[in-house]
Every structure is written in structure tokens, then in C-alpha cells.
A and B are shown apart, each in its own frame.
Chain A
């Protein structure tokens, strides 16, 4: 029954990805929306924030990538909750496969989607004038760091999915939780312009440290401290939310 957990996970990841073929809306959800944010932030705020859109893009692109990544982790929970409420989970669980394969399959597929979204944003950012000032190793490190963080944060999403009664609630919860967190950060502006109490929050905000780390890895500059803090956040989220999620998962399904 647990002889092929890896293959089962791969099959279930395939299942999540092949859906995109039949549901173009999902593609819009994780491709068009980030592009829209990228264009709006660059051209609406760029002039006011940094004198020109191109100048602002250099600062803001890592922030946009991080914000999109954080929002997109909710897709894991939305997908899981949909599977549970539609009965797909019961069908999967009646098969002699590993109990955690559906969870692992979903998370794996979502990491692949995240990698796609990062590459898409970076590619379009470069078309709009963003330049990578470091080398391929640093770019790979940025991808790796972003995906590690996304996997850790997706456990929050899994926990919400196990506690929520409907997929829409997962979505609403994610938005209400992540919108202020990603905005009250150094993703789009320099936190030193904020009121003291907000600046203090923004400085420790994982959005800030992750955006700073990606900025350093793509544009050059200090990386040791923001990368360390990003990994610390990833580890902390994983240590707290993975056990809670697994416990909720065992109770719910």
C-alpha cells in the first residue's frame, strides 16, 4: 500500500498539472494576475516612487515576485479543500495508496506552478527593463530560496484548507491574511518611510526579508543576512504549521 509513494505522488502531481489543459482560467489565475500586478505596479507607481517606471522596476520586481508567491501558496489549500468537498479525496483514499500521496502530489504540482510564475515574472520584468547583475548561480539560489519558502508557507494553506468548510473560504482567508502582510513590508517601498510601529513590523516581516534576499541575489548587494532570515522564517513556518496541518489532515480525511 505504501510501496510506491513517490510514483503515486508523481501521478497525483501530473493530475493537478494536466487540469490546466482543460481549465484555462487556472492559467489566467497564475499567469495573467502576476503580469497584471507587475504592469500596474511598475507603470502606476513607478514614476512617483522612483522617478521612472524602469528605475522602480529594479526595486519592485523582487517584491512583486514575493507577493505573488505568497498569494499563490493559497492555491494549495484551495485545491485540497475542493478535492475534499467534491469527494475526489474519498475516491483517492479508497485506493491502496499512501495516505499522504494526495497531499504531497498537490504540493509538488504547486511548486512547479510557483517556479513557472517566478520565471514568467522575471522574464517579463527583463523585457520591461530589469537587469540581472549577478550570475546564474545567484539566480538559481533565488529560485531555490523562493521555492523553499513557498513550500514552508504552503503548510499554512494546508491547515486553513483542513479547517475551512469550503474552497471560497480558503481564498477569502488567504487574501485577508496575506494582503496586509505583503503590503506592510519592504516589498514595494523602503520601510524607513513608514511610521515607527509599522516600520518595526515591516523590518521583521518575512515578505521584506525574502524580497531583500531576492534583490541581493538578482541585483547584487548584501545577501547573507536576508537569506539567513528568510531561511529562518521558512524553518519556523515549517516547524509550526507542518505538524498542525498533518494533525488536521489526519482528523479531516
Chain B
């Protein structure tokens, strides 16, 4: 058993006919941390989760969860994991309480113990009032909370959250985020898939960006921002007739072409000292500016640049 890594996947490949859903995915999740698996629709996120949750055998590569191989020891893996998301769903025709009771019984709890566990989880997720209503009649946020509760009945050490907040309003989304943070504080390892950079930024200790079934970047949210896209410098000359000369000055420190849009010159810069150089340069040439700013990229820009513009 690897004490530091809860999930290790190496070279996972999964094909459906001509479509390659996973094309050699490697990823590692340290125990007790949150890994954000980020990618556009159809990137292979759900397929990766299904492989790691023992629902789908990979065509090549291997993966272990808590040190157990997902193909050879699926029973051991299933004792450790909880699965919530797009595809792993509660039964809409059962009540919230019955759903949790059923899972408790399937996990081997006695009837009273399963009922207790269901009651505890319903309280914790603020669903006590809706315990006797069919899950199909729940609102989106309640439904997602019940999904989460259902995946926690067996006290999983590793939790897969497949797009846990897709389609939720901001308030419900924040509730789900708080729940996830609480679980991480209790030591649960989380693999979270999302299309939302904001979500990965909020929750993940580390991010793996995948597209077309391949890992295209890995790192902390901060390192991804720093590494991939350059920062952008924005300069507004004080006098319109200096626009061209300001553009040339910016061009001398920039990492790419300086672009004039209206009265503003923008250019990407990668050299940390670029701003200081630019200020000196402008001064030496007697150029005055009204505005001069340097800003880091948003994760959205990082994402777009990594996935080649496909949001």
C-alpha cells in the first residue's frame, strides 16, 4: 500500500470503436488532497473516472486505488471509494431515506445501523425534511446533495466527484463546495472532474488538464497560470501621436507582437523584469503614458490556450 498516493494511473487507454476516449492518461493523486481533472466536454474525464471506479476495464495501462489494482482487485477498490456524479445516480423512485437505507444494507449494515447512518447523512446534508419524498421530486441542489450523501454511506477514503456542480445555481454550487472542503478536512482524497476552471481553482490542490483523452498539462492552479500563458502588459499613451513609438517600445520587451487596439497597446510578456525595462525605455525616449498595467492570465485563458481554443 502506497501511503502517499491514493490513486495512481499509468498509461490508461480506452477506445470505443474508432473513438479513443483515453489515449495514455497518467495521473497521481496524493492521499488527502483534491485533484481537479479539467477538460472540455468529451475530453475523457468521465471515462477516466469510470476506469478508476472499476466500472470500466482499460484497454491498456493500469491503475491502483489505495494500492489495489482496479482490474485485478475491484472488490478491494470498491470498499474504498465513493462515486457521485453525472452517471452514478440515486434511484429517483425511492425516497431520499430509502436510497441511503438501500446502500447501507448493501454495504452490510444491519437494518437499524443503516437507518441511523441514513438519518445522520440526511441531517448533515440538510435533507431531513425531504427524507420521505421521492428523490425524483428533489430540486437540482437537493438531488446533488443526496447523490453526495449516497456516496458517503460507506465512509469512503477516496471520493470521485464527476462534475458535481454542473447545472447547479451558484448557491447550491457553493454548498457542494463547502461539503467537499469539509470532507477533505476529514482526510478524504477527492478526484473531481469539472469543466469549470473556477471550481478547479477553488477546490483542487492540483489540476490535470485533459483534452482528446490526453493529459496536456499538470500542476497546481498557480503554477499552471504562471507556466502556460504569459502575462499581458497594457499601455495607454498620453498623446495619440506617440502611439506608434509606444508600440515599438513595448515591442522591444514583449514576448510576442505588440498590438494596437484603439488607443491602447497590448503585448504578452514573459520576462519578470519586462515592466521595469519598459518604464525605463519609455522614459529614455520621452514618452508619457496615462496607464500602464501588467496582469496575470485568468485560468480561462490558460485553459483556452491549452485546449487550443475549444472551451
Contacts and interface: CB of A to CB of B under 8 A. Distances in A.
Contact of A94 (B88, B92, B95, B102): B88
Contacts of A18: 94, 98
Contacts of B91: 15, 19, 83, 86, 88
Contact of B55 (A2, A15, A23, A93): A93
A95 interface: yes
B94 A15 contact: yes
Secondary structure at chain A's binding surface: helix, strand, loop or mixed? helix
Contacts of A88: 89-91
Interface size class of A (residues with CB under 8 A): 20 to 34
Given A1-B78, A15-B102, A96-B107, A90 B83 contact: yes
A94 to B, nearest CB: 4
Given A11-B106, A15-B94, A91 B83 contact: yes
A94 B54 CA distance: 7
A101 B94 CA distance: 18
B106 A95 contact: yes
Interface string B76-96: 101101110011111111110
A11 B86 contact: no
B272 interface: no
Q: Say what secondary structure dominates the interface of chain B.
A: mixed
A49 interface: no
B105 A94 contact: no
B150 A91 contact: yes
B89 A95 contact: no
Given A22-B93, A22-B95, A87-B87, A95 B75 contact: no
B237 interface: no
B299 to A, nearest CB: 29
Contact of B94 (A2, A22, A96): A22
A95 B103 contact: yes
B88 A91 contact: yes
B144 to A, nearest CB: 13
Contact of B107 (A15, A19, A95): A95
Interface in A1-16: 1-4, 7-8, 11-12, 14-15
Contacts of A141: none
Given A22-B134, A94-B81, A4 B108 contact: yes
Given A22-B95, A90-B50, A96 B90 contact: no
B117 to A, nearest CB: 14
Contacts of B93: 19, 22-23
A11 B75 CA distance: 19
Given A83-B91, A101-B106, 5 more contacts: A15-B102, A87-B86, A87-B87, A93-B55, A95-B78
Interface of B: 50, 53-55, 74-76, 78-79, 81-83, 86-95, 98, 102-103, 105-108, 134, 150-151, 154
Interface of A: 1-4, 7-8, 11-12, 14-15, 18-19, 22-23, 83, 86-88, 90-97, 101
25 contacts: A1-B74, A3-B108, A11-B105, A12-B106, A15-B91, A22-B93, A22-B94, A22-B95, A83-B91, A87-B87, A90-B53, A90-B55, A90-B88, A91-B89, A91-B103, A91-B150, A91-B151, A92-B106, A93-B54, A95-B78, A95-B106, A95-B107, A96-B78, A96-B79, A97-B106
6 cross-chain pairs, A with B, having the tightest CB-CB distances, nearest first: A1-B75, A87-B89, A96-B78, A94-B83, A90-B88, A91-B88
